Amino acid sequence: MAAESSNKKYSAVTDLEDMVLHLNPTVNRFATVTPTYVTKKEQKHWKRNQGCQSTGCAPSVLKNDFADIKHTTLTERGALREAARCLKCADAPCQKSCPTNLDVKAFISSISTRNYYGAAKKIFSDNPLGLTCGMVCPTSDLCVGGCNLADTEEGPINIGGLQHFATETFMKMGVPQVRDPSLTPLDQLPDSYKAKIALVGCGPASISCATFLARLGYQDVTVLEKRANPGGLSATEIPQFRLPYNVVEFEVQQMQDLGVKVKYGVELGKDGLTLESLRKEHGYEAVFLGVGLPEPKRFPVFDGLTVEHGFYTSKDFLPLVSEASKPGMCGCKSQLPQLYGRVVVLGAGDTAFDCATSALRCGASRVLVCFRRSVPEIRAVPEEADLAKDERCEFVPYSSPKEVLRDENGRVRAIEFYKMDKDNEGKYQVDEDQFVRFKADFIVCAFGSHLPEDTPLHQALAPVKFNRWGTADVDRDTMCSRDAPWVFCGGDVAGNGTTVEAAADGKHASWYLHAYLQSQYGLEVPSTPQLPNYFTAIDLVDVSVEVLGIKFPNPFGLASAPPVTSASMIRRAFEQGWGFAVTKTFGLDKDLVRNVAPRIVRGTTSGHHYGPGQGSFLNIELISEKSAEYWCTAIRELRADFPDNVIVASIMCAFSKEDWVELTQKAEASGAQALELNLSCPHGMGERGMGLACGQDPEMVLNICKWVAGALGGNEDGSVKPRIPFFAKLTPNVTDVRVIAKAAYEGGASGVTAINTVSGLMGLRGDGSAWPNVGKEQRTTYGGVSGNAVRPMALKAVSAISKALPGFPVMATGGCDSADVYVQFLHAGSPLVQICSAVQNQDFTVVEDYVTGLKAYLYLQARKDLADWDYQSPSLEKLMAARRVELGEAYGLPRFGEYELKRRVLRQQAVKDADLLAEPEKAEVVSVDPATIPSVQDQLGRALSRIGTYNELDNQQQKVAVVDDELCINCGKCYMTCNDSGYRAITFSADTHLPVVTDDCTGCTLCVSVCPVLALTMVERTTPYVPNRGIDPK
């Protein structure tokens, strides 16, 4: 091939095809033929899914490595893609399947708009242990098990991973919890809220209960913990690689932010402390029991065995692992249990698999997980069992312990098992004729735990009685002890063993504990629980906007479109929190319309994407089919019922002064705070001499605005303002929208709305018909394109008008679907935004996400320590710098084949001598002076000074692309686009598939634009840029 290439003739304007292009795609002219042995070598070289199954992945590679191993963990990129898949279903089964009843679709909706605070707020409102549960919740049995997408090829949403991502990102913001300021202030509450409340055990159940009690306003809430650290089993028995200790600290601190106290070293059953003494001697009026089941279940076969013999229970083993691997948990410098050789773990629950994977990190070379039932009947959730399997733990089903064999020193050397047999009725029996022996250096028994009657703790819990399962006998509706109305229980002691169930118990009990205490003071509470939501200083940020003397509670409004088809829809929207609404456009009775069907269809701009999240819609819907009298009546009623919200009446007439004056006066009389003149409807109405037919002619726009201004008491020179402001809604279907805006300004309009839909034809089918098409003839017309696809046009229009007419109010519409996007319109010069397509994609409740997102943005603007964040996204540069330190020499190596094995070896070298107890960097909790938080108005037009003509751009300040090899997934998209659409400035290794940007890079940025994993960024060029002229000019 080289010889053939050397004989090619090239013209003076043809680039030489050198090795830069040797891996660039070409059209195959023939079938590809490769020997099988070569393909097998290629398979081995490129294999990415080898996990720990390959021979090169020895268990020793895992020793001392407590980095996150959860399959569900997501990066920001992964979280955004996964959140976009969520359907946000009505009456969502995922929420019904969550013990804490998280509003799953709402928090995922917030993640999809990069409003991570909004997502965290939703999560923590229902579950104060939202981050812990995001990491360890058995979601496949709960919310994920109910996901409607499980019935599709792509499968259910990774809800746990999304919850983990959002709450962890919020944790990095360092924002403390506060009590809802709209509630009665603490100093104004009755004495019943000063009642002493004790919570025994600082685990998930107590943390949840105490948090909700503090939110309700109780001011003397104390958690009693026997250990020197909080967290309960979350801290001591869930390994660091599944639940880092700083997560426990964060959630405990959030509880303490509300005034809850924690006393350590206080243990029931010790020093005479009992439930009764808490009440009678210490003055606690109510007690919540959140203790675990502290004693492991042991079988006679293990009698006499101790840790010194190589025998651990899970209650021995996991706390030792935690103390030696969880920074900050204790002041000690503990060492991991020094395991070696073969470790046999007994049990098939979540705890057993935690023991198994922890044993590998403590030095075990082989781990057998032995249990009595079959593999399909493993009690652990799939997430846990899969992790153990991936790390080469071996599963031994149908095994019941028979005997432990010991050496001459008494140490464990082997264990024998009887074979369990399953009969035709599904019952298990021991088959003593069959048994097997396994060599073992250590045994870890994880057969569960209980609270024996003869223990001091059990005796200290009187008068609480226990049922036949060994758990507290409680009313399941209230979590109150049936024998002591002042005692409430939750978590393990109540028979609910998972973290999320414990959190749910604490939440549930908090309300009924509240009801009990209030009844003791002769007060009543609502029969339906009303637990306060999660609040921070972010929620106190003011997002109201004043425009033309009208105060809008927030800048988010509904556009004149299908979401405001009726008054009842506007009413429902206001109830959900929308700041304003523009009515569906109405006209005089002589101009009433009848719509065709079908008329609103999904766009094709997002490819073959179905469901919510459509990038565009096309509609051929006309103005309202309802009469002017209907709308005027509706406005009057809505104004009376929602005095703090703003209603803008949208009106349309032909080019007739009499009609415009008549309709304007009717709309004003209805009580609308402002008017919007629809001069821009792109289909149907223009053929009637209305809408677009008027809005494309600046002279007509000028005159219509003059007529309306006059009808409202204004005059042509603007010296007398109209009684209520009015906005001219502009069409983008013109050469220069500024010309139309200036005509409206000169005609006396108070402002403009930019932009209406863009005229278009969404697509044609194979038979030549369009969609939508009407009737047997399948006829169509050009419709209005809306949604994210028109956002660039809307941003251009808003910014161009704002620059051309400084101070002239612009209401934006066109592609706003988040607070993030609203801020873009705000910076472009618009303080208000109208929304339609985003509601069509979802429902009215999206406004809550927009409001919290905007509040978070403004709050974070005052956080100088987070200046390198982008909106609510942490600095990727800082994240990768930390990753570089963590990985050492492994940083940047590809994650396939022999390179992946090398990464593991290098990773092990980096962690084998690492200090596992070195304190990680924590997010600093920062108090923000409210006076430093910018207002919406402060941000208005922030981008305008940076927007100008092309000739104002400095071509001496150049940037070039750079690849982060650690983020790169070796797909070569940058290489291909640079070759076939750019400047051939990227090489691509045939062995590693790592791209390298060469000095030929011109900074075009195509590679950055097509990279699927954000592995490329633009950096300052350090050498002078000399354009390649091809042929030097004469």
**Cis-peptide into 969, omega within 30 deg:** no
State how far the Cα of 378 lies from the Cα of 698, in Å rounded to an integer. 74
DSSP code per residue over 951-982? GGS-TTS-EEEEE-TTT-----HHHHHHHHHS
CA atoms within 13 A on the CB side of 86: 31
Q: Which two tokens stand for residue 236?
A: 């001591």
CB atoms within 10 A of CB 494: 23
Classify burial at 962, counting beta carbons within 10 Å of its beta carbon; exposed 0-12, middle 13-18, buried 19 or more. Answer: middle
- CA dist., res. 462 & res. 379, Å (int): 32
CB contact at 8 A, 554 and 854: yes
457 three-state secondary structure: helix
Which residues contact residue 823 at a Cβ distance below 8 angstroms, ignoring those fewer than 6 apart? 854, 857, 871, 939
Please say whether the dihedral angle defined by the alpha carbons of residues 893, 898, 902 and 908, taken in this order, is positive or negative: positive
Closest C-alpha among 224, 104, 118 to residue 156:
104
Tokens of 316: 């021995």
Among 341, 167, 129, 116, which residue's Cα sits nearest to residue 248?
129
What does each C-alpha distance from 492 to 223, 448, 471, 714 come to in angstroms? 17, 11, 8, 73
Cα 945 to Cα 954: distance, rounded to the nearest angstrom: 15
**908: phi then psi, degrees, rounded to nearest 5:** -65, -40
Q: How far apart are the first and last CA of the chain?
A: 36
Burial 628-639 (b: 16+ CB within 10 A, else e): bebbbebbeebb
**What DSSP character marks residue 281?**
T
Residue 339 near residue 367, CB atoms below 8 Å: no
Q: Indicate the length of the chain as a whole number.
A: 1034
Q: Is residue 681 flagged as an active site residue?
A: yes
The whole-angstrom separation of Cα 87 and Cα 134 is: 20
681, 816, 836, 968: the active-site residue: 681
Provide the CB-side half-sphere exposure for 157 (13 A, CA): 31
* Coil, strand or helix at 811: strand
Alpha carbon 453 to its chain's center: 45
Check: CB of residue 900 under 8 Å from CB of residue 48.
yes
The pair of three-digit structure tokens given for residue 299, joined into one six-digit string? 């079988």
Supply 505's token pair. 């118990």
Calculate helix-pair angle for 657-669, 628-641, nearest 10 degrees: 30
Backbone angles phi, psi at 518, to 5 degrees: -65, -35
Report residue 434: phi and psi, to 5°.
-120, 125
558, two tokens: 């509904």
Spatial CB neighbours of 409, under 8 Å, sequence gap ≥ 6: none
Best CA proximity match to 997, nearest among 1025, 969, 964: 964
CA angle (720, 724, 730) in 5-degree steps: 100
Strand 311-313 relative to strand 221-225, pairing = unpaired
CB neighbourhood size of 291 (10 A): 28
C-alpha closest to that of 368 among 389, 384, 383? 389
Residue 502 region by backbone torsions, left for phi larger than 0, else alpha for psi between -120 and 50, else beta:
alpha
**Active-site positions?**
681
